[in-house]
Structure 1
């Protein structure tokens, strides 16, 4: 199968390249401009892909609040362009979105049919990208929402916590934002499954289980010491979001319901977030 990944440097694209090896062509921002339909078309026509996985996104959540134009170009216009190309060329498109399309006030896991109500620019531009995809390519696309993604590659919460725990005498971590961590490796496997099987529809993919950022940080420290990535434990204090103001509003509860995913992606079995975290940290140690 001739597969193309849009994105080359991010956590998801790293895992996709590792999973697919020479069976995939990856295009970074220097190789393809998804914000320009004619430029995008000229590049993709030379490949003639059977399926495209869009792993590119503007993900600087706080920066997006003052840089809406740049976020919208990638998260909305870029997705619209990819959908238009795929419709014309008869190509299946897998697109990755976010828990930030929800307002975070439901208090129980969000299903794929729940109303989207983004609270900031990042979430809005991702939601607008979803709408563009589903309006243009409803029968030949798979939209996968995910959350709290990390990997052994790139910058993320896990690696930041390990660094700060080695440098600081103590840390404060937010305990009133609840979701589910996601190892990018599992997300990559879901994207490839969707592309290979042309799994149509809207789905949610995260690891299993639920935690706060505080719970996640405690697990990172515990496993970090166990695996020799940290020498000593430091005090980690739970703090409310109000003590750590950010330009963008975060959803307080953004657990994603995966019932439909478990039924449809039946050969894949999401593991508990702590199991996945342990496996990723083994990679870091190696």
Structure 2
């Protein structure tokens, strides 16, 4: 176990991102000097300015929460998706290696095709069905090709949490405005609360973990089940109708099943992630309490 107090961390996406802001908060709780950055602070794709920044700051940890996450739009903007999801991680990986810093890079359940019917482990075969998933996988593989052992890749999924609009918040807004909603029921994944993900990420840091880890809240849900739980917990009177994915045609194919197995994380940290239902209630009653 390493001591984090007094260490310095740079968080790309830390000042504006859904995950980045929670990570920044969690790092500060652990007495880490956290420097949250947005793309307005410097151009992360400009290797020269990025290099100059890291040489000036000399961080112990580099967190990359920046990604091109517009899944459907990525089908038409392959180059933009590739730049953020593949090129940027490689730039950061090389810098981490040069400066002997640890890189923590976040990836996605979309690296899988969804054909499995039991939770995916870190060693399961990848087979992304979308440009988004393919560029994220490419980023993972190219990072591993750098052959620098101090890289931690965290696959996560279905994020919700404070600081930024997300699926749960949008659904609650729609539920207040409408008498009924139609929500997709045939995509199943791992809803994940960003403060929990941040806490579990810090646990992996303390355990000096490297390589690929799945980190999500326990349990599984469809989008319909997640929406229903949120609406019921919020006490909103809105009828939910389950519908198939085909009711909402989209450019990008999504995995129908992408639940992630966290047993490797538990083995290394001794922590069993709490259920997404518990986490959702914290989100609703603590983070969104003013909305009720």
- TM-score of the pair, normalised by structure 1: 0.94
Q: Does residue 135 of the first structure (1) align with residue 121 of the second (2)?
A: no
State whether residues 207 and 268 of structure 2, in contact with CA within 8 Å, keep that contact through their aligned partners in structure 1.
no
CA offset at residue 106 of structure 1? Answer: 1.2
For residue 188 of structure 1, the aligned residue among 189, 194, 198 is 198
State whether residues 204 and 268 of structure 2, in contact with CA within 8 Å, keep that contact through their aligned partners in structure 1.
no
Q: Does residue 2 of the first structure (1) align with residue 8 of the second (2)?
A: yes
What does 1:82-121 correspond to in 2, within 5 Å?
82-121=92-131
Secondary structure of residue in 1 paired with 2:274: coil
CA offset at residue 58 of structure 1? Answer: 1.1
Paired residue for 2:3? none
The superposition leaves residues 173-210 of structure 1 with CA deviations (integer Å, 9 ceiling, x where unpaired) of: 01100111000111111222333443112110110011
Distance of 2:200 and 2:42 partners within structure 1? 24
The superposition leaves residues 74-105 of structure 1 with CA deviations (integer Å, 9 ceiling, x where unpaired) of: 11000000001111111111111000000011
Distance of 1:134 and 1:47 partners within structure 2? 25
Paired residue for 1:281? 284
Paired residue for 2:164? 154
CA offset at residue 37 of structure 1? Answer: 1.7
State whether residues 105 and 252 of structure 1, in contact with CA within 8 Å, keep that contact through their aligned partners in structure 2.
yes
CA offset at residue 152 of structure 1? Answer: 2.0
User: CA separation of 1:184/1:29 partners in 2, compared to 1, >3 Å: closer, same or farther?
Assistant: same
The superposition leaves residues 206-261 of structure 1 with CA deviations (integer Å, 9 ceiling, x where unpaired) of: 10011111111110111111xxxx4xx11100000011111111100000111101
Paired residue for 1:211? 221
- Give RMSD over aligned pairs: 1.3
- The aligned length equals 279
CA offset at residue 138 of structure 1? Answer: 4.3
Runs of 4+ in 1 over 2 A off after TM superposition: 20-23, 190-198
For residue 256 of structure 1, the aligned residue among 240, 257, 260 is 260
CA offset at residue 23 of structure 1? Answer: 2.2
State whether residues 174 and 239 of structure 1, in contact with CA within 8 Å, keep that contact through their aligned partners in structure 2.
yes
- TM-score of the pair, normalised by structure 2: 0.92
Paired residue for 1:168? 178
Distance of 2:224 and 2:116 partners within structure 1? 21
